[in-house]
Amino acid sequence: MDEKKLSMFPCAHCKESGTCAQGKDGASCNVCVKRNELRGKEHFGLACGICGGLGLAEPFTDRLNKRFPAIMAILVVFSLMFIVSVAAFINNQHFSEILAFSGTLIGTVISYFYSNSNKMKAS
């Protein structure tokens, strides 16, 4: 089984300090001002909008790869529940087969996400 590792890299935007000073005369840049939802001209010492003030940034592809299985599982579970509900509502003649297939698949997905072997390990 592959281990999920937390891959954090030094943030080049804030130079690992966690505060943005990329604007004019050491002020925070416009991107960080917008991410902190502020208005006005000059702001100093705002949390870096790239790393969230941590000084370490996680690549977007890593975040996407970690979220995809959970999003896919949610879509599968809710679509199967919808199919079972529709089959029950219209009194489908194959309802028992649909329910058996859906119940097994939903149980497998839920047990995967609640098992201890799926926990993320930081390194």
Same domain, 41 and 64: no
Band of residue 23 on the pLDDT scale cut at 50, 70, 90: confident
Three-point CA angle 69, 105, 101, nearest 5°? 150
Residues 94 and 53 in one domain: no
Longest Cα–Cα distance of the chain, Å, equals 73
Residues 82-109, mean pLDDT to the nearest whole number: 94
> What total of structural domains would you count in the chain?
2
Residue 117, pLDDT above cutoff 90: no
H helices of 42-94, where?
Answer: 60-89
Looking at the fold, whether 41 and 80 belong to one and the same domain comes out as no
What per-residue confidence (pLDDT) applies to 38? 78
Task: Compare 41 and 119 and report the one with higher pLDDT.
Answer: 41
pLDDT for 65 equals: 83
pLDDT digits (tens, 9 = 90+) for 27-38: 888 888 888 787
Same domain, 21 and 45: yes
| pLDDT greater than 90 at residue 19 | no
Average pLDDT over residues 73-80: 94
C-alpha–C-alpha distance, residues 84 and 94, integer Å = 10
Residue 98 lies inside a defined structural domain of this protein: yes
Residue 4 has pLDDT above 70, yes or no: no
Query: Which residue range(s) make up the domain with 67?
Result: 60-118
Mean pLDDT of 110-114: 86
Structure tokens of 73?
Answer: 């599982």
Examine the domain organization and report whether 67 and 112 are in the same domain.
Answer: yes
How much is the pLDDT for 84?
A: 95
